[in-house]
Amino acid sequence: MSRIAGAIVHFGALDTLSASGTPLHRLDPRAKVVTTLAFAAAVASFGKYAVLPLLPFALFPVALASAGGVPFGLLGRRLLLALPFVVLVGALNPVLDRMPVSLGPFAVAGGWMSFTSILLRFVLTVSAALVLVAVTGFHEVCAALGRLGVPRPLVTQLLVLHRYLFVLLEEAGRMERARSLRTFGGRGRGLPASGAFLGTLLLRTWGRAERIHFSMLARGFDGVLRFERPLRFGAAAVLFTSGWIALFLAFRLVDVPRLLGSFLAAAAP
């Protein structure tokens, strides 16, 4: 399998997982979207030096991944793809912020604390978003956003962009196979050839995207996102949303690691 073909399989892995039939998959997507947004808001509300208070929030993505059968290895690989960008965002923090911050009995430079906090927030929020797509499906996530009041053009653009990425990868795979059959050794793989390859890829995907759009119009597409099954915000969805949001509030208002440390210190002989 070529690297591009592997990229197609890797990119569509979350959508494949969303076809499972666990109770979490069958839950109303609006409940999962609202809960994930509340989770992200709670994580983002902490100060820039917060590290230990963020740790209890790892319960949410871990619990959902376990309940939905999402492999942790897949989540880890997806996180590693975006990790270099996050590292670049906070790379200068240890240099610019040298103010000491207390971490229990230790004093640590504030820049290292804020850098660690950025990495931890990234891991928590992106993991939750990946699990959301894996247990819901991108189509259902977009449908839930539309039902929650997000403007219809934005929801449609998100869904079309997601589908266009598959078109881009499929066309790149076809072109790569054609180039491999027509060349040998290192011919046709230099920098000039790569520029021509990318330009041709853009034109081919543009043309195919237009043909797909015309096919959608011919089948009656009017810009309204259709949903395969009726949405029903039942008791299970209410319990799921209210329970997790209550837990997020508890984690936000109570320093659980400090409380746990005090309890263990008092219980120690």
Is the residue at 85 inside a domain?
A: yes
User: Any long-range contacts for 88-92 (C-beta under 8 Å, 24+ apart)?
Assistant: 89/118, 90/114, 90/115, 90/118, 90/119, 91/115
Asked if 130 and 18 sit in the same domain, the reply is: yes
Please indicate, yes or no, if residue 197 is contained in any of the structural domains: yes
If DSSP states are collapsed to H, E and C, what string results for 108-138? EEHHHHHHHHHHHHHHHHHHHHHHHHHHHCH
For residues 104 and 205, membership in a common domain is answered with no
Record the pTM: 0.80
- Which of the 8 DSSP states describes residue 102? E
User: Do 17 and 53 share a domain, yes or no?
Assistant: yes
Q: Which burial class, exposed, middle or buried, applies to 156 when counting CB atoms under 10 A from its CB (0-12, 13-18, 19+)?
A: middle
Are both 146 and 15 inside the same structural domain?
yes
Question: CA angle, corner 54, sides to 53 and 57, nearest 5?
Answer: 120
Q: Are residues 142 and 79 in the same domain?
A: yes
The C-alpha torsion from 44 through 49 and 51 to 57, rounded to 10°, is -20
Q: What are phi and psi of 158, to 5 degrees?
A: -60, -45
- Is 11 in the same domain as 80? yes
Task: Give me the tens of pLDDT residue by residue for the chain, a chain 269 residues long.
Answer: 455 445 555 556 777 787 787 889 889 899 999 999 999 999 999 988 888 889 999 999 999 999 988 888 888 888 888 888 888 877 777 777 677 776 666 667 777 788 888 899 999 999 999 999 999 888 888 888 888 888 888 888 888 888 777 777 777 777 777 777 777 666 656 666 677 777 777 888 888 878 887 888 888 877 666 666 667 788 889 999 999 999 999 999 988 777 777 776 676 66
Within this chain, do residues 26 and 101 fall inside the same structural domain, yes or no? yes
Domain that holds residue 206: 151-228
Based on the structure, what is the number of domains in the chain?
2
Are 170 and 241 within one domain?
A: no
> Are residues 69 and 190 located together in one domain of the fold?
no
Question: Within this chain, do residues 144 and 162 fall inside the same structural domain, yes or no?
Answer: no
Q: Are residues 145 and 56 in the same domain?
A: yes
71 and 129 share one domain: yes
* Residue 114 and residue 93 in contact, taking contact as beta carbons nearer than 8 Å: yes
